[in-house]
Chain A
Amino acid sequence: QQKVQQSPESLSVPEGGMASLNCTSSDRNFQYFWWYRQHSGEGPKALMSIFSDGDKKEGRFTAHLNKASLHVSLHIRDSQPSDSALYFCAASELYGSSGNKLIFGIGTLLSVKP
């Protein structure tokens, strides 16, 4: 069973719309969460991290973490065609130390239609 599960597998939103991506962990040892974004033909790039309960906002992107339910979400407002990409949720038990392992979900493919 995947330790990090993402939904939906794919999502289509109109330009200017709101995209909402979800991630749930089955491992209570995971304390640190990231969202990564991968455009076609490129390597994944870190979008934002969230380590505390509640919301974290960076520009058009807002992440929300609920540690009790091990649920993380990413909301993209005013979606742009350049936001079309594969989005990964990643989780880790440790932070900034030797042996830190990031475990990734299978991704959500976002398509923003002009």
Chain B
Amino acid sequence: EAAVTQSPRNKVAVTGGKVTLSCNQTNNHNNMYWYRQDTGHGLRLIHYSYGAGSTEKGDIPDGYKASRPSQENFSLILELATPSQTSVYFCASGDATLLFGEGTRLSVL
């Protein structure tokens, strides 16, 4: 069954710390995406990838890096986390219609 799995599901981080959010898909999709969801802003695209080794900036990339080491895995990295990055993060995969994971709730204190 097609699936996108995110880890961790919940994370509390300290300001200035490094945070890595992980995403795994078993759908053999070329495209993978990271979005954040905030009330009043909907889903905003942070980074995306065409395939292993590629990463592209989305609409709000500042403060975030991404890594796609394989077809299955796509990570979002916050090198120096800030309270403004407190949000719910969604990973998705798909070459047209997207399949989303269940989300990671991140709190930066």
Report how many residues on chain B are interfacial, defined by Cβ distance under 8 Å.
28
In the bound assembly, the distance between CA atoms of A100 and B92 in angstroms comes to 12
Q: A98-B51, A99-B50, A104-B43 are in contact. Are A42 and B31 (CB under 8 A)?
A: no
Q: Is the CB of A88 within 8 A of B42?
A: yes
Binds B, one of A43-51, A65-73, A74-82: A43-51
Q: How far is the CB of A22 from chain B (nearest CB, A)?
A: 15
Q: Is the CB of B101 within 8 A of A96?
A: no
- Taking a contact as CB atoms closer than 8 A, the residue among A44, A45, A99, A100 that contacts B43 in the complex is A44
Q: Decide yes or no whether A1 CB sits under 8 A from chain B.
A: no
Report A91-107 CB contacts with B as 1/0, cut-off 8 Å: 01001111111111111
Q: Decide yes or no whether B90 CB sits under 8 A from chain A.
A: yes
In the bound assembly, the distance between CA atoms of A42 and B37 in angstroms comes to 12
Q: Is the CB of A43 within 8 A of B100?
A: yes
Q: Is the CB of A95 within 8 A of B40?
A: no
- Taking a contact as CB atoms closer than 8 A, the residue among B51, B58, B97 that contacts A46 in the complex is B97
- Taking a contact as CB atoms closer than 8 A, the residue among B40, B45, B51, B102 that contacts A43 in the complex is B102
Residue of B nearest to A106 (CB): B42
Report how many residues on chain A are interfacial, defined by Cβ distance under 8 Å.
24
Q: How far is the CB of A79 from chain B (nearest CB, A)?
A: 22
List, in ascending order, chain A residues with CB within 8 A of B102's CB: 42-43
In the bound assembly, the distance between CA atoms of A15 and B109 in angstroms comes to 42
Q: How far is the CB of A88 from chain B (nearest CB, A)?
A: 6
Q: Is the CB of A46 within 8 A of B98?
A: yes
Chain B residues with a Cβ under 8 A of chain A: 4, 30-31, 33, 35, 40-45, 48, 50-51, 56, 58-59, 90, 92, 95-103
Q: Pick 15 A–B contacts, CB within 8 A, sort by A.
A: A2-B42, A43-B4, A43-B90, A43-B102, A43-B103, A88-B42, A98-B31, A98-B50, A99-B50, A99-B56, A100-B95, A101-B45, A101-B58, A102-B98, A106-B40
